[in-house]
Chain A
């Protein structure tokens, strides 16, 4: 559905994108992750046909976004970063307008349906200027969905709305994945983990990593990590014992306890417990640490930063 090949984009002498490639299959929710200035918005603007890339290609449903721009654009629903709307139109008028512009046969019913989806049907007669930030965000979403596009591109759709609504929007996005291919960008990693089938991590205009949240964990990091707290041993003695345990690759103090990383494929927990006992200590906590994207991300960004 979305194919991106070696995309480059320069603003003057500054390079915003430097050889980005990824793909999204039909029915997939793909998260575009990255710190400020990573190139997420730029990527999306190229995909939606707003601006052409300096080099490289991008296709939506097989249509090149530059050569066959109109066809590609017809397949996309887009919510830009700033959620631009016409403040002097009514909610209904606004969505109907975008429906017409995107060639919907019966624009008004389509607009009503989209408004129901984002729970704004009751406010359809209001002026856009009278909506709250969160409502506008949802209106933006309605506008992106009104023509039922195969591809939905959302640039940070959860920014600036309250937690309850964030959850709603996340659920909406996740639900979209059933019928649409969704590409959405975010800074919030938990969000990506919750919502995405796949994550593309951008940093400084390059793809730093790509995959399902799980596979990213697997391929990037070998070995589980375990948090250990020990009683009855000096920290030095405890550390020594832990490092000597079978299958342990690394052990470091971490606050009141220690973090131990096992060698690949080895569950180090029995060995850690045994080694501490043997040294005369008592394990009071032995907890596996779930790897989050946060870790992966910080790791990657850290690497890129170096």
Chain B
């Protein structure tokens, strides 16, 4: 359109020659520089998250109107509008030219802030994709802000009034995102949020997710605001014509035009929101379905049973809902609706949420749907609430698919401690952990099964022999033998026990059975390690772990001192070098260790001493595995059980890792899906920089840069004023 370019160029020249514009630019750089530096200082311990564009989402409330207030109001006040409106160009050219100039000027300011990104790349590991997404977002956001400002500038002759009205409108549009805090109705709060500017930035562009619908929204705001600005400008021609003839006709025309535009824009918006075209800009592909998830979803499709994702979000948690839904809707799409999603306000659906045992706002659950299309509550699985929702959602779906596939039975018959005791000495922690992963647990009594002439139920995938105080009966061993013969798997824990006939003593027939069947057995010796221990020589830390076993892949990570397993008063495990089945070591002690065989002395007075003739020289095995590939039977034998108690299972982490990975190997759970270990990047400190450098950066960005711009403005003012 003729005239746009001319108007645009004049406005740009006005920005570049006006001292005010330089003042604005300096203020802009000062504010963004302060934000950047504050964030950089924090980033020594936290990952920086696009500080500058995110802060601009707020600061644009003020910078936008300052850039736009003069655009039309000043022309009207000065009378130059009369010349513009009588020049042979369209009003559209005036409005577009002015808008584009403001946007271009803002773009320049934004480009200046890329200095910060350059600094970040130099000193840290920023998420570049996410930053690009945030910049694109704030650029569009700025466009919408400027269009709104231009509209108010078209409405009045007074720049101050135009700025005031714009700030007021933008503040409302900004705070609207928090509507959930005053509006109790979830749908209404969500609608309000959808109409705000940050509602299309904070939950998408800012976190590295580019959604087409946000493009549509911002473009829509720009189009509608420019249209009303245009009509406001045209109304200046009819100005004063009042409520008759042309005035009324043009008012009705504007109203119809706005209504039409709004219909079109919301239609396109709804369609694009439905189509859910997104572009994932995050490094870790946080908003795309990973290969692992696609494998799981393939299983869902093959199984064919409808699954429901149920989320509970109060109006306060709408941003989380948007973030979670960005992922959840991909599941729905990928499975052609077999996985569906439904969200509730927990405050308004209290009884319903209680049936899920909802614990925090913003929690997700997955479950099967019954024949009536209702949630089957017996199948509800909780989705762990964390940042990386895809992983957790897929895990939950996997647990749903694996319902009843994995059952862990605890032999507890002869124990004096109930397994789900939640005290430090109890084992409720691992039981909860198993159940959280969809593994069913229940108690079993092998001696009783033998008496009743029954077998271990077929559904049991792993049997845990934990907290055993007495040897198994001969019948129970037979029950176990039949269990192994059909490929049963067992996780067996022995421990130092000073009683008359402890479980798996060298004289226990079951110990002999294990030696015969798997080539592993327990020794009547307690491990003493002078080199690898946690304080006392009886608190043995895993010194060596087996190579290439999935059970120990994550143990003894040289970068993580807590990844070693800690055993407290453990017995040694013996491994047959010529075994009947495959077997091997899991964890071993240091060469400086030995096995104390004088248990009486140790048990009564906690004293021990190495005697060459009696004691066993180290290194010793603390745990072993065996795999009968013929039958499928698997065994893990550990010389300690305290390491699984609530007090120790996460302390150090290595204990939990050993248990989880052993059970994963035993049950075969890990073979259905394995997530590659993911670095939790968001929690890592990512800035590597000295205090001296921090000071220099602060000096450059908050003093030199804005100062230089200010000086440039003063210089230009002086140079032009000379003539």
Residues of A within 8 A of B (CB): 10-13, 45, 48-52, 54, 70-71, 73-74, 76, 78, 80, 82, 84-90, 93, 97-98, 100-103, 125-127, 130, 143
Question: Do B83 and A143 touch across chains, with their CB atoms under 8 A apart?
Answer: yes
Known: A54-B246, A84-B80, A143-B83. A70 touches B723 (CB 8 A): no
The reply to whether the CB of B78 lies closer than 8 angstroms to some CB of chain A is yes
Contact B17 A82 (CB under 8 A): no
When the two chains form the complex, which single residue of A54, A88, A126 contacts B245, counting CB atoms closer than 8 Å? A54
Expressed in whole angstroms, the minimum distance between the Cβ of B697 and any Cβ of chain A is: 36
- Assuming the A-B contacts A86-B80, A93-B13, A101-B6, are A74 and B246 also in contact, with contact meaning beta carbons closer than 8 angstroms in the complex? no
- A-B pairs under 8 A by CB, number: 88
B86, A50: Cβ atoms under 8 Å?
A: yes
Known contacts A54-B245, A80-B79; is-contact A73 B87 (Cβ 8 Å): yes
10 of the cross-chain contacts (CB-CB < 8 Å) are A11-B241, A45-B82, A49-B86, A50-B82, A80-B79, A80-B83, A82-B79, A84-B80, A97-B6, A98-B83
Residue of A nearest to B89 (CB): A101
Asked if B85 lies at the interface with its beta carbon under 8 angstroms from chain A, I say yes
Chain B positions within 8 Å of A10 at CB level: 241-242, 244
Residues of A within 8 A of B7 (CB): 101
CA separation between A143 and B83, bound complex, in Å? 10
Residue pair B241, A127 in contact (C-beta under 8 Å):
no
> A84–B13 contact, CB under 8 A?
no
Q: How far is the CB of B347 from chain A (nearest CB, A)?
A: 53
B241 touches A84 (CB 8 A): no
Chain B neighbourhood of A13, CB < 8 A: 242
A80 / chain B contacts, CB cutoff of 8 Å: 79, 82-83
What are the residues of chain A within 8 A of B244 when measuring CB–CB?
Answer: 10, 54
Proximity bits, B79-99, A CB within 8 Å = 1, else 0: 111111111111000000000
- Choose, from B232-240, B253-261, B278-286, the stretch at the interface: B232-240
Q: How far is the CA of A243 from the CA of B13 in the complex (A)?
A: 75
Q: A10-B241, A50-B237, A84-B82 are in contact. List 20 more A-B contacts (CB 8 A).
A: A11-B242, A51-B239, A52-B237, A52-B246, A54-B245, A70-B90, A71-B88, A76-B86, A78-B86, A85-B80, A86-B78, A88-B18, A89-B14, A90-B723, A98-B83, A98-B87, A100-B6, A103-B2, A130-B723, A143-B83
Contact A51 B90 (CB under 8 A): no
Residue of B nearest to A48 (CB): B86
Q: Which residue of B lies closest to A71 (CB)?
A: B88
From 47 to 96 in chain B, residues with beta carbon under 8 angstroms from any chain A beta carbon are 78-90
Docked Cα-Cα span, A296 to B242, in Å, equals 36
Closest 6 CB pairs of A and B: A84-B79, A74-B88, A12-B242, A48-B86, A11-B240, A84-B80
Residues of B close to A98: CB separation below 8 A: 83, 87
**Nearest Cβ in chain A — how far from B716, in angstroms?**
11
Residues of chain A with a CB closer than 8 A to B90's CB:
70
Chain A, Cβ-Cβ closest to B94 = A101
B721 contacts chain A at the CB level, 8 A cutoff: yes
Closest to A70 in B: B88
| A12 partner residues in chain B, CB cutoff 8 A | 240-242
Smallest CB gap from A75: residue in B = B88
CB B648 to nearest CB in A, in angstroms, measures 76
Question: Complex formed: what's the CA distance from A90 to B245 in Å?
Answer: 42
Taking the complex as formed, is B3 at the interface, i.e. its CB lies under 8 A from any CB of chain A?
Answer: yes
Contact (A127, B721) CB under 8 Å given A86-B80, A103-B88: yes
Contact status A126-B723, CB under 8 Å: yes
Which residues of A are found within 8 Å of B239, using beta-carbon distances?
51
Of the candidates A84, A88, A89, A102, which one forms a contact with B88 in the assembled complex, judged by CB atoms under 8 Å apart? A102
Residues in chain A near residue B350, CB distance under 8 A: none
Name the prevailing secondary structure of the B interface residues: helix
Let me know if B630 is at the binding interface, CB within 8 A.
Answer: no
Taking CB atoms, residues of chain A closer than 8 Å to B81 are 84
Complex CA gap A166/B241 in Å reads 35
Q: Which residues of chain A have C-beta atoms less than 8 A from B88's C-beta?
A: 70-71, 73-74, 101-103
Give chain B residues whose Cβ lies under 8 Å from the Cβ of A70: 88-90
- Please give me the residue from chain B that is nearest to A153 by CB atom: B86
CB <8 Å contact, A127 and B720:
yes
CB-CB nearest in chain A for B14: A88
Query: What 0/1 pattern do residues 703 to 723 of B give for CB contact below 8 A with A?
Result: 000000000000000001101
Q: Which parts of B226-275 form the interface with A (CB within 8 Å)?
A: 237-242, 244-246
| Inter-chain contact A51/B238, CB cutoff 8 Å | yes
Are A88 and B2 within 8 A (Cβ)? no
The smallest C-beta distance from A50 to any residue of chain B, in angstroms, reads: 5
B482 lies within 8 A of chain A by Cβ:
no
Q: How far is the CA of A97 from the CA of B720 in the complex (A)?
A: 18
B10 within 8 A of A: yes
Q: Which of B3, B78, B82, B723 contacts A127 (CB 8 A)?
A: B723
B3, closest chain A residue (CB): A101
B10 contacts across to A, CB distance below 8 A = 86, 89, 97
Nearest-neighbour CB distance to chain B for A56, whole angstroms, equals 12
Question: Could you tell me if A50 and B85 are in contact, using CB atoms closer than 8 angstroms?
Answer: yes
Whole-angstrom distance between the Cβ of B382 and the nearest chain A Cβ: 65
For the complex, give the distance between the alpha carbons of A13 and B243 in Å: 10
By beta carbon, the residue of chain B nearest A123 is: B723
Looking at the assembled complex, report how far the CB atom of A153 sits from the nearest CB atom of chain B, in whole angstroms.
9
CB-nearest residue of chain A to B86: A48
- A10-B244, A70-B88, A70-B90 given as contacts; is B80 within 8 A of A52 (CB)? no
Chain B residues near A49: list those with CB within 8 A. Answer: 85-86
Task: State which residues 1-41 of B face A: CB under 8 Å.
Answer: 2-3, 6-7, 10, 13-14, 17-18
Report A-chain residues with C-beta under 8 Å of the C-beta of B78.
84-87
Q: How far is the CA of A73 from the CA of B82 in the complex (A)?
A: 12
| Residue from A52, A71, A76, A130 whose CB has the most chain B CB atoms within 10 Å | A52
- Residue numbers in B under 8 Å from A102 (CB-CB): 87-88
Residues of B within 8 A of A89 (CB): 10, 13-14
User: Closest Cβ of chain A: how far from B427's Cβ, in Å?
Assistant: 80
Give the residues from 184 to 233 in chain B that come closer than 8 angstroms, CB to CB, to chain A.
Answer: none
- Are B241's CB and A78's CB within 8 A? no
CB neighbours of A103 from chain B (8 A):
2, 88
Q: How far is the CB of B259 from chain A (nearest CB, A)?
A: 24
Q: Which residue of A lies closest to B81 (CB)?
A: A84
Contacts of B238 in A (CB 8 A): 51-52
Given contacts A86-B80, A98-B87, contact A125 B237 (CB under 8 A): no
